[in-house]
Amino acid sequence: MHILDTPIDYLKGVGPARADLLKKELRIFTYADLLHHYPFRYIDKSKFHNIADLNPDMPSVQLKGQLIKFEEKGQKRSKRLIAHFKDETGIIELVWFKGTRWIRSSVKLHTDYIVFGKPSAYQGKFNIVHPELDLQESKQKLSATLQPVYPATEKLNAKGLTSRGIAKLTQALLPLLKNHLEETLSKSLIEKLNLPTREQSFFNVHHPKDAKSLIRAQKRLKFEEFFFLQLHLLKLKLTRNQKFMGYAFENLAEGFNDFYKKHLPFELTGAQKRVLKEIRNDVRNPQQMNRLLQGDVGSGKTLVALLSMLMAVDNNYQACLMAPTEILARQHFQSISTYLKEMNIKVAILTGSSKTKERRVLHEQLVSGEIDLLIGTHALLEDKVQFNNLGLVVIDEQHRFGVAQRAKLWKKNKYPPHILVMTATPIPRTLSMTLYGDLDVSVIDELPPGRKEVKTMWKTDSSRLQIINFIREQIKLGRQIYIVFPLIEESEKLDYKDLMEGYNAIEREFPLPEFQVSVVHGQMKPEDKEYEMKRFVDGVTNIMVATTVIEVGVNVPNASVMIIESAERFGLSQLHQLRGRVGRGAEQSYCILVSGNKVSAEGKTRLQTMVDTNDGFKISEVDLEIRGPGDMMGTKQSGVLDFKIADIIADNKILHFARNEAELLLKEDEELEKAENINIARAYRPYARERMGWSRIS
């Protein structure tokens, strides 16, 4: 057994009770776990504050001065010992509720002390409760100026496992590990990046010699953490490409070529062409494609999906396209059917509201191979839905589907079909590198020509009248308007009321027969939703009042105004998605964000970001900063984003470095067989074993 696997119970200073707590509260079972329990910050003990400058918002501070007087106050429970502590700038009270007798007898008045603790306000004055107190002369002997602060919990504190207590444990542990912390990186990497050794790094991260050593230690450990993850993701990608047999779409035939030459209504953008080439290069090989296609709203992903599906059809395979909502599936079905109307390709649709009888026919036609393209919702996942020869699956708005759901599609043929997942929620590169590090990523970073930037304004309720007039003007110009209300599950009833009130108000302002107003929300029957949606798409209604059901994908080029009510309640990516519903035609479009007068600082950042930029990638970077990676992806992805010391956002430079180095390494030594990479190979094996069956692929 490696010494690092020693149960924590064996460490000096850890009795059975503490061992229990360490396991329960911090999931520290072994020496290795303690070693990887990192301080989350450090207190700079070389810095001193003046008493005159203190305020209760400060974290812990360090003061230099003398005790000039003791005083006892209060009765029974509120009985406390107070010491007056003075420096050149003022006096502050130090307060003890416990251990007062010991303090009184051991602490000397009029002697230089260093006091450490958090200032708080009490009855109009500042004090420090239960400060740490050190004699100045003994303090000078301590070389460590950076004191580690470990995450702790109340239960741990009660057993003496405060931050200081844990520091004592790591101090006991580290000497035992001397010469047992094997190097995991190659000599050339260490030299190239000028990293300290692994052993030095662990010592310095727990008990820094000085600020410089600490920074280098952190850099190394962060690099290592990212490096092995990237190595693993890249290896997964390599092995998958080798191991998962897939279907080779060898030829492009009349489907693709005819469509491309005769029926394509416009020239593809450069980005669309590039992405299609990337897809083409994948699917022509007998290995499964797993590609993520990122493209901002309106960048023309549907067409790319269609052309990819034609690649399948040309090779006698079927393809399917799955969308997260009924409305979206229908819209895809309609536009694709229109695109293909002069071609001999059979397209069908399957959603939750397909009738049983229709389904039966459809199931048969799928199995017989009569249907070439199937478009639908989750209904596609049902076991009953079987194909003759499914070769490609396209998933629109992939983040709306769970991993398990997507995995079902893998099983719809003997080998897994090629997978193309599309998302209009741009993911910052840092995040996609990690979350989708084992996928191939294509990006459409160009909008079709002739699009005008949507003009975005942020208004408050007091501008209602102005907004109404603006809507009227736009309707006169023949445009259509969206008005969106938030609908968040917890307050669904309330939101529903808001929506209906808003709808009624709009109907009063824009009465029949001059105006037509539609309403669509989640509580309506699918047919009714469909009907209203269709009236809007066909240009019958001027205004669509809706909840976020219209958020994804819907395409009405004549709609030029998006009004978002209570905009402060929406997340950034949602706002961006909603705004993407307009600006799809040739006309100048507008987005009006309406908020209350009181908006939180974070809400202001969101709204201002929307006003400032139309660039989905920029917006996603801001979103990542505000929300952090776990939240941003909707679900906390299992393990992938759980870093022990590194931080995807703050350390993104190191992440890029690590990705790069991992790529270079695998290019030269894919199997990690070379002698110079033996350290890496040795460390990687158990790392990979722990993460077996770890696949977040579609």
Q: Which residues bind ligand ADP (CB under 6 A)?
A: 266, 268-269, 272, 295, 297-303, 424, 448, 553, 555, 557, 584
**Cβ closer to Mg ion: 553 or 629?**
553
Q: Which does 593 bind (CB under 5 to 8 A by kind): ligand ADP, Mg ion, none?
A: none
Per-residue DSSP letters for 301-342? HHHHHHHHHHHHHHTT-EEEEE-SSHHHHHHHHHHHHHHTTT
Which runs of consecutive H residues, i.e. helices, occur in 453-612?
464-476, 492-509, 526-537, 572-579, 601-612
| Residue facing Mg ion at closest CB distance | 553
Q: Which does 471 bind (CB under 5 to 8 A by kind): ligand ADP, Mg ion, none?
A: none
**Cβ closer to Mg ion: 296 or 314?**
296
Q: Which does 442 bind (CB under 5 to 8 A by kind): ligand ADP, Mg ion, none?
A: none
d(CA 490, CA 205): 44
Q: Which does 432 bind (CB under 5 to 8 A by kind): ligand ADP, Mg ion, none?
A: none
d(CA 686, CA 683): 6
Q: Which does 272 bind (CB under 5 to 8 A by kind): Mg ion, ligand ADP, none?
A: ligand ADP
d(CA 332, CA 338): 10
Where b means 16+ CB within 10 Å and e means fewer, 530-556 reads: bebbeebbeeebbbbbbbbbbbbbbbb
| Residue facing ligand ADP at closest CB distance | 300
Closest by CA to 439, choosing from 451, 422, 453, 452, is 422
Question: Is residue 518 helix, strand or coil?
Answer: strand
**Residue 484 Cβ vs ligand ADP, minimum distance, rounded to whole Å:** 17
**Cβ closer to Mg ion: 417 or 553?**
553
**Residue 395 Cβ vs ligand ADP, minimum distance, rounded to whole Å:** 13
**Cβ closer to ligand ADP: 272 or 609?**
272
Q: Which does 255 bind (CB under 5 to 8 A by kind): ligand ADP, Mg ion, none?
A: none
**Residue 303 Cβ vs ligand ADP, minimum distance, rounded to whole Å:** 5
Q: Which does 220 bind (CB under 5 to 8 A by kind): ligand ADP, Mg ion, none?
A: none
**Residue 589 Cβ vs ligand ADP, minimum distance, rounded to whole Å:** 13
**Cβ closer to ligand ADP: 220 or 301?**
301
131, 298, 300, 553: which one binds Mg ion (CB under 5 A):
553
Instruction: Give bridge partners of residue 120 from the DSSP assignment.
Output: 127
**Cβ closer to ligand ADP: 428 or 585?**
585
Closest by CA to 418, choosing from 306, 305, 283, 304, is 283
Closest by CA to 236, choosing from 377, 30, 438, is 438
Q: Which does 555 bind (CB under 5 to 8 A by kind): ligand ADP, Mg ion, none?
A: ligand ADP
d(CA 524, CA 318): 34
Q: What backbone phi and psi angles, to 5 degrees, belong to 8?
A: -60, -25
Instruction: Give bridge partners of residue 394 from the DSSP assignment.
Output: 321, 420
Closest by CA to 312, choosing from 349, 284, 343, is 284
**Residue 586 Cβ vs ligand ADP, minimum distance, rounded to whole Å:** 10
Residues 6+ apart with CB under 8 A from 377: 322, 323, 324, 325, 326, 329, 350, 351, 352
**Residue 685 Cβ vs ligand ADP, minimum distance, rounded to whole Å:** 42
**Cβ closer to Mg ion: 65 or 553?**
553
**Cβ closer to Mg ion: 148 or 553?**
553
Q: Which stretch binds Mg ion (CB under 5 A): 40-48, 534-542, 553-561, 689-697?
A: 553-561
- Binding residues for Mg ion, rule: CB under 5 A, are 553
